[in-house]
Amino acid sequence: MTRRRRLRALIVRRAAAVLAGAAAIVVGLPGGSAAAPGEPSSRVEIVAVDSSAHPEVTLSVQPPAELAGSALSADAFSLTENGTAVDVVVEQAGAKQSSLDVVLVIDTSGSMKGAPLEAARSAASAFLDQMPDGARVAVVTFGDTPTVSSVLSLDRAGAVQAIAGLEASGETALYDALNVGAAQLAAVPGREAGPHRALVVLSDGGDTASAATLEATAAVLKEAGFEFTAVEFVTPEYDGTALHSLADTAGGRVLSTDDPAQLAAVYGDVAADLLNRYAVTYTSRAGGETQVALSVRSGDVASTTSRSIRLPALDGIAVTAPDVTVNPEPGWFAQAQALWAGIALLFVMFAALLAWAFLSPREARVSLAGALGSRARRVRLPAVSDWAERMVRVADRGLEQAGRDSALYAALEQAGVNLRPGEFVVLLLVAAFAVFAAALALAGIIAGVVSAAVALAAGPTVVRVLARKRRNRFGEQLADTLQLITGNLRAGHSVLQAIDSVAADAPSPTKEEFERLVVEVRLGRDLPDALRAMHERIGNQDFEWFVQALQIHREIGGDLAEILDTVGETVRERGRLRRHVKALSAEGRLSAIILYVLPFAIAALISVLNPDYMAELFGTGMGKALLVLVAGLMTAGFFWLRRVIRLEF
Report the percent of the chain where pLDDT is more than 90: 0
Residue range 269-298: mean pLDDT, rounded: 81
Q: What is the mean pLDDT of the chain?
A: 74
Q: Which CATH class is domain 467-584?
A: mainly alpha
> In this predicted model, which residue has the larger pLDDT, 363 or 103?
103
CATH superfamily of 100-275: von Willebrand factor, type A domain (3.40.50.410)
Please, which residues have CB within 8 angstroms of residue 237's CB and are 6 or more apart in sequence?
111, 204, 205
Q: What is the pLDDT of residue 195?
A: 61
Classify residue 487 by burial, with Cβ atoms within 10 Å: 0-12, 13-18, 19+.
middle
pLDDT tens, residue by residue, 556-566: 877 888 888 88
Q: What is the pLDDT of residue 190?
A: 52
Please, which residues have CB within 8 angstroms of residue 487's CB and are 6 or more apart in sequence?
none
Residue range 502-525: mean pLDDT, rounded: 85
Altogether, the residues listed in the chain come to a count of 649
Report the percent of the chain where pLDDT is more than 70: 77
pLDDT tens, residue by residue, 23-41: 443 333 333 333 333 444 5
Q: What is the pLDDT of residue 128?
A: 83
Helices (H), 507-584: 510-522, 527-538, 541-556, 560-584
Task: Identify the band that residue 645 occupies on the pLDDT scale cut at 50, 70 and 90.
Answer: low
Q: Mean pLDDT lowest for which of 145-149, 184-188, 586-590?
A: 184-188
Strand 45-50 vs strand 253-257: parallel, antiparallel, or unpaired? Answer: unpaired
Q: What is the pLDDT of residue 69?
A: 64
Nearest CA-CA partner of 229 in 209, 203, 207: 203
Please, which residues have CB within 8 angstroms of residue 477's CB and are 6 or more apart in sequence?
506, 507, 510
**CA 616, CA 53: separation in Å to the nearest integer?**
41
**CA 419, CA 350: separation in Å to the nearest integer?**
19
Q: Mean pLDDT lowest for which of 56-60, 270-274, 518-522, 618-622?
A: 270-274
Q: What is the pLDDT of residue 388?
A: 65
The answer to whether residue 446 scores a pLDDT higher than 80 is: yes
Strand 378-381 vs strand 365-368: parallel, antiparallel, or unpaired? Answer: antiparallel
The answer to whether residue 386 scores a pLDDT higher than 70 is: no
pLDDT tens, residue by residue, 279-288: 888 888 888 8
The amino acid at residue 278 is Y
The answer to whether residue 384 scores a pLDDT higher than 60 is: no
**CA 477, CA 381: separation in Å to the nearest integer?**
30
How is domain 45-92+281-311 classified at the CATH fold level?
Answer: Immunoglobulin-like (2.60.40)
Domain ranges of the chain: 3-29+346-460, 45-92+281-311, 100-275, 467-584, 586-644
Task: Identify the band that residue 353 occupies on the pLDDT scale cut at 50, 70 and 90.
Answer: low
Q: What is the pLDDT of residue 387?
A: 64
Nearest CA-CA partner of 133 in 155, 104, 152: 155
Q: What is the pLDDT of residue 25?
A: 38
Please, which residues have CB within 8 angstroms of residue 569's CB and are 6 or more apart in sequence?
none
Helices (H), 259-334: 263-275
Exposure on the CB side of residue 365, measured as CA atoms within 13 A: 7
Contact 304, 329 (CB under 8 A): yes
Please, which residues have CB within 8 angstroms of residue 532's CB and are 6 or more apart in sequence?
547
Q: Does the global pTM surpass 0.85?
A: no
Task: Identify the band that residue 76 occupies on the pLDDT scale cut at 50, 70 and 90.
Answer: confident
pLDDT tens, residue by residue, 448-481: 888 888 888 888 888 888 888 888 888 888 888 8
Please provide the DSSP assignment of 170-231 as one string: S---HHHHHHHHHHHHS-BTTBPPPSEEEEEEEESS--SS-SS-HHHHHHHHHHH--EEEEE
pLDDT tens, residue by residue, 359-381: 343 333 333 444 344 443 444 44
Contact 140, 103 (CB under 8 A): yes
Q: What is the pLDDT of residue 581?
A: 81
